[in-house]
Amino acid sequence: MRLRFTGEIWFWCGPAPFHFVTVPPVESEMIGEVASVVTYGWGMIPASVTIGSTTVTTALWPKDGGYIVPVKKLLQDREGIGVDDVVEIVLDIDA
């Protein structure tokens, strides 16, 4: 499954700081339809994330009935992006 969407990078200061983009509702619903087949536990969904010309592997996190995409430091550094930037994400999930 390949999804493409845009979203704003936001900062979460939990036990460890992370940067995320929220998956829009329609795309979250599509992910939810395959979640039981692809999750490896705790609702985490393995995925490849591409922003610009950089692709990394990660896992989507379930949040508030949808999903959020961690934006790794490698992506931030290579693409020159940060909090409040709006980015286009290509999300690949092996379903």
Contact 75, 49 (CB under 8 A): yes
**CA-CA distance, 95 to 77, in Å (whole number)?**
29
pTM (predicted TM-score): 0.92
Banded pLDDT at 14 (limits 50, 70, 90): confident
| Position 8 pLDDT exceeds 70 | yes
**CA-CA distance, 57 to 48, in Å (whole number)?**
4
Residue range 13-17: mean pLDDT, rounded:
72
Closest to 7 measured CA to CA, from 59, 68, 62: 68
- CATH number (3.40.50.720, 3.40.640.10, 2.40.30.10, 2.40.30.100) of 2-92 reads 2.40.30.100
pLDDT for res 16: 67
**CA-CA distance, 25 to 8, in Å (whole number)?**
14
Of residues 15 and 58, the one with the higher pLDDT is 58
**Domain boundaries in the chain?**
2-92
Rg for the chain, CA atoms, rounded: 12
